[in-house]
Amino acid sequence: MSAVATPSPIDPVPVPARSEASTARSERLRLLLRSPTVILGLLVIGLWVFCAIFTDLVTPHDPIFDNQFTSSDKPSGEHPFGTDTNGRDIFSRVLAGSRNILLIAPAATLIGTVLGTTIGLITGYYRGLVDDVVSRFVDAVLSLPLIVTAILIVTAVGKSGTWVVTLIIGLIFTPVISRTVRAAVLAETELDYVQAARLRGERAPYVMFAEILPNVLSPVVVEFTVRIGYAIFAVASLTFIGFGVAPPSPDWAAQINEYWTLIDPYWWMTLFPALAIASLVVSVNLVADGIREVYER
């Protein structure tokens, strides 16, 4: 008696599982968007970015050359933030004043993050003499306050301007970011996947940037967001002491520099630009704190 073969069921086509990295990114984004403080910070940042891009649309008057109004007028219905000593509408100047700081701060932070990450990868991977030499230099730079170091460099260079300030702040951020990345890299180099890459004969640049870097992106992202707040403060401080843009630019710090000696009785000329800087710094810090909490979970 012959047995009747039972047809085997067709195996279902496996559905590719969603990558763990993609799932983690989606979860982090969901957590960020559920945070009221992060949403508030993003809204304020978005407002200033919009004002910086569409200055001509949001400013009711020319923020630089429109001096047809009575000078030194207090805040009123016509001029919510008053006018300055040149008869310019301060409300228009505050709305236009975010452009410079929003250009320099992220660019400087990006420069510092790229350089610092690269140095951190190299020192953490090679260790030895390279690590010792770079670490001593980093310690020397970090022993000085950021603003003092920036002033020394600007003075040594002998010139100031948008891109000079951007590069200087980026270079100052490089050591502290490199130290954070180095610590993360030191932990990663002991793991099996790095040893396996070395045994396969992979070159050091490949191991550092293709294997280790994706696994240390969390501290890099956190450092980037945190440093933007510091960069905004640094840009404003340098501009205030005369190493940034100069009048008649509507830059917030330039306005404070121009009118702080007149704070009594013309308080509105410095108060509103100062509040604008504070709102941006606080908003960036709110977002940075939210990102740090999500990545450290």
Please give the C-alpha separations between residue 272 and each of 91, 127, 237, 256, in angstroms, as whole numbers. 8, 50, 16, 9
**For residues 51 and 94, what is the distance between their CA atoms, to the nearest angstrom?**
9
Asked whether residue 253 carries a pLDDT value surpassing 70, the answer given is yes
Asked whether residue 91 carries a pLDDT value surpassing 90, the answer given is yes
In a domain, 8, yes or no: no
- Binned at pLDDT 50, 70 and 90, residue 21 comes out as low
Q: What is the arithmetic mean of pLDDT over 230-253?
A: 83
pLDDT computed for residue 135 by the predictor: 80
In a domain, 222, yes or no: yes
pLDDT computed for residue 224 by the predictor: 93
pLDDT computed for residue 108 by the predictor: 93
In a domain, 151, yes or no: yes
pLDDT computed for residue 148 by the predictor: 79
Asked whether residue 263 carries a pLDDT value surpassing 70, the answer given is yes
CATH number for position 180: 1.10.3720.10
**Nearest CA among 253, 228, 280, 268 for reference residue 111:** 228
Q: Which residues contact 32 (CB under 8 A, 6 or more apart)?
A: 38, 290, 291, 294
**Nearest CA among 163, 140, 287 for reference residue 227:** 287
| Other CB atoms within 10 A of residue 19 CB | 9
In a domain, 24, yes or no: no
pLDDT computed for residue 19 by the predictor: 59
**For residues 146 and 143, what is the distance between their CA atoms, to the nearest angstrom?**
9
Q: Which domain holds residue 139?
A: 85-295
- Binned at pLDDT 50, 70 and 90, residue 16 comes out as very low
How many domains, in total, are found in the chain? 1
Report helix, strand and coil shares of the chain as percent, to nearest 5.
70, 0, 30
pTM of this prediction? 0.82
Q: What is the pLDDT of residues 52-89, one digit of tens each?
A: 999 989 999 888 886 778 888 999 988 999 999 889 99
Query: Which letter does DSSP use for residue 113 in this model?
Result: H
Over pLDDT 70: what percentage of the chain?
91
Asked whether residue 176 carries a pLDDT value surpassing 80, the answer given is yes
Asked whether residue 188 carries a pLDDT value surpassing 50, the answer given is yes
pLDDT computed for residue 275 by the predictor: 95
In a domain, 212, yes or no: yes
Asked whether residue 18 carries a pLDDT value surpassing 70, the answer given is no
In a domain, 22, yes or no: no
Query: Which letter does DSSP use for residue 89 in this model?
Result: B
- Binned at pLDDT 50, 70 and 90, residue 160 comes out as low
Q: What is the arithmetic mean of pLDDT over 170-195?
A: 89
Which of the pair, 139 or 15, is modelled with greater confidence? 139
